[in-house]
Structure 1
Amino acid sequence: MNKAVATTVFCIIPLLFCASHAVDTSQCIAPLGMENGLIKDEDITASSSFDHGNVGPHHGRIRSEINGGAWCPHTQATPDSKEWIEIDLHSVHMIMATETQGRFGNGQGVEYAEAYMLEYFRPRLNKWIRYRTKTNGELLKGNINTYIEHKTILDPPIWASKIRFIPYSSHKRTVCMRVEVYGCKWSDGIVSYSMPQGDKKGGSWEFYDFTYDGHWDGERLKYGLGQLTDGEVGPDDFKMSFHEDNTQGWIGWRNDTPNRNNKPIEITFEFDTIREFTAVHIYTNNQFTKDVQVFKEAKVFFSIGGKRYKGEPITYETFEDCIIETPRNVSIKLHHRVGRFVKLQLHFAARWILLSEISFESSPVSGNFTEEEELPESNTPSDQSANVLSDNKNVISAVNSSGSIGQYLGMVVGFFTVVVLLMVAIVAYVLIQQRRYKSSPRPSQIPDKAALYRTPSLGHLTTTSSSDYADYAVPLQRPQQPPRTPPDPQLFFPKPPSNPPTEYYAATDVCKPHFTPPPPPLSTPPPVRLQRQPRYVSAGKAYVGP
């Protein structure tokens, strides 16, 4: 079984629980090209024009005064107006704001739209959708004159490749418009997500995905995008979303509904192309005093074609937290798994699971991939869309969502593990080398003791009968040298004089009585007479020692 275990440290600071998004909505506010010309004239169309050459759709650029200075439809605006100006962005963008302006016409224009509506198109939807705000409103505020612009922040944002502005008027009137859109390219690559619709808590709290723009089929949402990908997170206390306007941010499910019966919640994400995934971030609530807790386990499945999720899932296990009720961002490493469909299975730890945002870290990959074959219905469990053995899974246990701390601790532990392994390898290598050194035959480096204690006159030592002294009895094998002859004693001792001194002869005169030695030569100092004490006195005579 393949297991990857990573433990993170729970952090008390609430700021560490803020969500991490692949798209930073605060930076997704750039103009998309109506004013600066990035959007070409051929990408701007309209349902009709009063005069195409003078007030055609390509003149509907904000802060532009070319020709008539705006786009003017052929018919007047009414509550049931069908006129529109369309912008083709060619790829899915996240549109965060729109801006409108009337026709100034160098002071000659008097037409503007007091209100307007939006419609948008996305390839996965394959139809035009009327935009609605979080309060379920369709009308957006327009202009009050022909020259002052008005910018509207879209809440929720729009994911679209095409967008239309539809002028509106409560009474029939002539309108003209200049427009701009703000946002950024949708780099997450999420085309849609499908899941069960949320549940109600009590009689007044509805944890629904109100901004979902896909198909609502009974109790399941399909083919659209909504609150889970809008870049906004819910308040810390889910009750606040029902007491304040425009703060609804939580989608919730409970485990005791008749059709669920404590089964996990499944959310399936479809992407624009096959991608390599590194992480998923799930922003979840943990108000355990209100029967809301972080899911106890999450399983992540991957598929190329969306029909079968083969291969082992990534399993993420959490510990129960009944201390801090602050929402947190749970980050799950996906280990560079590849797929175009990703399915999340979230298992209940309490009665309720509340989610606000889910984002992925991924990048497109190129190559030839084969879609999985769909299994027969009889072999596919009704509550499991993935054919995976439970024993073959990547298990990741964590305390909270702060993945950076866990990564850091994992790096530190890995570093010290490598250091210990290197030290053990070095010690083992040294011991092996010492054993080899002791066991290997080699010439002795100790000098021959027989040669150290041998003198030239003793000659060669003979080998004793005992083997213990064999090394000391055998001399060194040295080349034979001729025997050395003792030196002549005459070289060391002087020759005696040929004639003895004429004054005396030691053998005769010294031994004679009353001999008086001759005085020493003048070069010899006179002897010093020592004052000796008598050694003994006998018969009145004192005898002095020599």
Structure 2
Amino acid sequence: MRLVGPWTIVAVLPLFLTEVRSIEPSQCIAPLGMESGTIKDDDIKASSSFDHGHVGPHRGRIRNEVHGGAWCPQTQATPDTREWIEIDLKTIHVITATETQGRFGNGQGVEFAESYMLEYFRPSLKKWIRYRTKNNGELLKGNINTYLEHKTILDPPIWATKIRFLPYSSHKRTVCMRVEVYGCKYTEGVTSYSMPQGDKKGSSWELYDFTYDGHWDGEKLKSGLGQLTDGLIAPEDFKLAFHQENTQGWVGWKNDTREGKPIEIVFEFDRIREFTAVHLYTNNQFTRDVQVFSEARVFFSVAGKRYKGEPITFDYMEDRIFETPRNVSIKLHHRVGRFVKLQLFFASKWILISEIAFDSSPTTGNFTEEEELDNNIQGDQTVVSGPENKNPISAVSSTGGQYLGIIVGILAVAVVFMIVVVLYIVHQQRKYKSSPRPSQIPDKAALYRTPSLGRLTTSTDYEDVRNPEYAVPLHQSSQRCRTPPNLQNFFPKAPSLPPPSEQYYAATEIFRQGTGPVQFKPPPPPLNTPPPMRHQMPPQGRYGSGGGNRTFVGP
């Protein structure tokens, strides 16, 4: 992220104001199932019951009037809380509110709890934790009669798999309770984070993680959750959190107390996850020595004991123009792990953070703990380093990861086979086009035949035409794309046969004898008769037998 000028900063300013929240408490308000029966009887327990069948823990469902109509402990309530009713939610839930009611018992009940306490359990805590409000209070307001419900909003919310209600009374009295819990299932996956406790600024402002529910060992916080994951955003001015009641504060660290070392925060998740981004909501009041970190490094681990491989490194461009808090997002390039370690380097005297949230999803596969690895690559990571070995990218191991090589090999063989087939077809086509094909050369002897005076043959290769001089070839289907030239322009027309000699009627006997009353005179020749020609005729014929001059009559 690099800012090159004031107009660029103005353009990206709306992004700074975007709030990052791991959850949205205002949307996490659904009843979890005591009234509806979603929570089964087997998941409701109690320290004791006056009569298990009539007023056992499974009767402690709000707005239900079954048998005795509530859960009633065997002993009376006192300031020393010993009795409890427990609800097992099976998985981690965010509990944002609780609701209680006394025992109405069809108008016969007179028992209710005026106050109560809460305890909750989460696997990472390994023990039951007493709930405290932001004001460090433990007592929550209960009921004033046996029939009206009372709902309490929890600030901060509770992250728990189990929760207990402990009736409380400043004096000894009999109590009965019906309860309900509100919230939603926790899907972000963070079960705990460990880090140094915040520092004190001046003599008035303690920038501590007050709602942290883990172990506070000296300056080290371990195995708990607190302000960094509660979904609540601190005000722009960190001082307002100390002047306004019920206002979320900032967690801050001072550079002078760290000897130049970065702030290190380790997050533990419920299972191995694939990470795409992390978002940090930070303060930037540089006029009060508070700035966004100059550099962040993100490490990943499967078992949480060793963090191998190159970290993802993020450099932040210093902003000394706008003092508004902003959301800083870091891409994590689908890295895999169950533990994530953040190292934040100081850019000024103070670093203030209100919320940290991750974009992740559960993943499955064969993952080996870091201690058993011989290389410097975590699991199935493939590290791709930049010019300064920053932002390495890892390949994700999934359920089908072990078959990836086989699938890629099969696809590669199929592609090579297709290429070979295509090249073979192209080669055959080129070879076919370059070689002469007899079928494409017209056979003149087959197209044209010697004229015949008789009847044309009945071959289907020729049309039946009136003029028998030349045989006309039929249109051949194989030569449709090429029309043969008119061969009459190349070959001279064959001469026609000479017409037969004209035959006249033979002279009769009378004519031969030259006697008779009438002497025969031949008819005139037709108009198309060629001009007279002299012929050598036999000595007899067409000459009169009588005397006189021998005159040539005609051909």
Normalised by the length of structure 1, the TM-score is 0.68
The AA in structure 1 aligned to 2:34 is M
Q: Please tell me whether the aligned partners of residues 308 and 374 of structure 1 are also in contact (alpha carbons under 8 angstroms).
A: no
Q: Aligned pair in 2 of structure 1 residues 71, 390: CA closer, same or farther (>3 Å)?
A: farther
1:26 CA displacement? 1.8
1:290 maps to 2:318: no
Quick check: 1:394 aligned with 2:391?
Answer: yes
After superposition, what is the alpha-carbon deviation per residue over 1:480-504, rounded to whole angstroms, capped at 9, x for unaligned? 9799xxxxxxxxxxxxxxxxxxxxx
| Counterpart residue identity of residue 246, structure 1 | N
C-alpha contact (below 8 Å) 1:31/1:183 kept by paired residues: yes
Q: What one-letter code is carried by the residue in structure 2 that aligns with 1:57?
A: P
* Matched residue, 2:222: 222
Larger radius of gyration: 2
- Residue 104 (structure 1) shift: 0.9
Specify the alignment match of 1:305 in structure 2. 303
**CA contact 2:23–2:230 (8 Å) conserved in 1:** no
For 1:35 and 1:307, locate their aligned partners in 2 and report how far apart those are by CA, in whole Å: 44
Q: What's the counterpart of residue 327 of structure 1?
A: 325
The 1:65–1:160 alpha-carbon spacing in structure 2 relative to 1, beyond 3 Å, is same
| Cα pair 2:232 2:248 within 8 Å, conserved | no
Which residue in 1 is equivalent to 2:160? 160
State the secondary structure of the residue aligned to 2:244: coil
Give the TM-score normalised by structure 2. 0.66
Answer whether contact 2:134 2:246 (CA < 8 A) is retained.
yes
Aligned partners of 2:103 and 2:110 also within 8 Å: yes
The 5 Å alignment of 1:304-383 reads: 304-373=302-371
CA distance in 2 between partners of 1:182 and 1:155 (Å)? 13
Query: Which secondary structure does the structure 2 equivalent of 1:58 belong to?
Result: helix
CA deviation profile, 1:379-429 (whole Å, cap 9, x unmatched)? 9xxxxxxxx999422189xxxxxxxxxxxxxxxxxxxxxxxxxxxxxxxxx
CA distance, structure 1, for counterparts of residue 371 and residue 136 of structure 2? 41
In 2, are the aligned partners of 1:14 and 1:326 still within 8 Å (CA)? Answer: no
Q: For residues 248 and 101 of structure 2, what CA distance do their matches in structure 1 show?
A: 31
Residue 241 (structure 2) aligns with: 241
More off after superposition, 337-346 vs 366-375: 366-375
| Displacement after TM superposition at 1:16 (Å) | 5.0
The question of whether the paired residues in 2 share the 8 Å contact of 1:100 and 1:143 is answered with: yes
Measured in 1, the distance between the counterparts of 2:150 and 2:490 equals 120
What is the rounded CA distance, in whole Å, between the counterparts of 2:53 and 2:82 in structure 1? 21
Residues 263 and 148 (structure 1), Cα distance of their counterparts in 2 relative to 1, 3 Å cut: same
Instruction: Give the corresponding residue for 2:440.
Output: none
Corresponding residue number in structure 1 for 2:71: 71
Deviation string, structure 1 residues 16-35 (Cα, Å, up to 9, x no partner): 52322242222111111000
Checking the alignment, whether the CA contact within 8 Å between 2:3 and 2:317 is kept in structure 1 is no
- What is the rounded CA distance, in whole Å, between the counterparts of 2:279 and 2:336 in structure 1? 17
| CA-based RMSD | 2.7
**Alpha-carbon deviation of 1:88?**
0.5
Q: Which amino acid in structure 1 is aligned with residue 357 of structure 2? A: S
Residues 7 and 185 of structure 1, relative CA distance in 2, 3 Å threshold: farther
Q: Which amino acid counterpart does residue 304 of structure 2 have in structure 1? A: G
Q: How far does residue 47 in structure 1 lie from its aligned partner after superposition? A: 0.4
State the AA in 2 paired with 1:265.
I
Q: 1:17 — aligned with what?
A: 17
Q: How has the CA–CA distance of structure 1 residues 206 and 237 changed in structure 2, closer, same or farther, with 3 Å as cutoff? A: same
Where 1:315 maps in the other structure, the secondary structure is strand
Change (3 A) 1:390 1:374: farther
Counterpart contact for 1:232–1:249, Cα < 8 Å: no
Matching residue's letter, 1:211 = T
Secondary structure of the 1:26 match is helix
- Give the match for residue 87 of structure 1: 87
Aligned-residue identity in percent: 75
How far is 1:285 from its partner? Answer: 0.5
Structure 2 unpaired stretches of 5+: 377-384, 394-488, 493-555
Matched AA of 2:73? P
Counterpart amino acid of 1:272? D
Instruction: Read off the aligned partner of 1:67 and give its amino acid letter.
Output: H
The amino acid of 2:346's aligned partner reads F
Quickly say closer, same or farther: Cα 1:205–1:312, change in 2 above 3 A.
same
Q: Report the Cα distance in structure 1 between the residues aligned to 2:22 and 2:490, rounded to whole angstroms.
A: 95
SS in 2 for 1:373: helix
Question: Greater RCO between the two (CA within 8 Å, min separation 6)?
Answer: 1
| Equivalent AA in structure 2 for residue 394 of structure 1 | N
Contact 2:15 2:326 survives alignment (8 Å): no
What's the secondary structure of 1:256's corresponding residue? helix
In structure 1, the partner of 2:43 is 43
Post-superposition Cα deviations, 1:315-344, rounded to whole Å, max 9, x if no partner, equal: 111111111111111111111111000011
Using the TM superposition, give the Cα deviation of residue 182 of structure 1 relative to its aligned residue in structure 2, in angstroms.
0.5
**Aligned-partner Cα distance in 2 for 1:481–1:129:** 114
Q: Secondary structure at the match of 2:369?
A: coil
- Residues 189-228 of structure 1: matches in 2 within 5 Å? 189-228=189-228
Instruction: Name the structure 2 match of 1:495.
Output: none
Kept after mapping to 2: 8 A contact 1:120/1:129: yes
1:130 Cα offset (Å)? 0.3
Q: Does 1:274 align with 2:283?
A: no
Compared with structure 1, are the counterparts of its residues 482 and 113 closer, same or farther at alpha carbon in structure 2 (3 Å cutoff)? closer
Task: Evaluate the alpha carbon distance shift between residue 172 and residue 481 of structure 1 in structure 2; reply closer, same or farther with a 3 A threshold.
Answer: closer
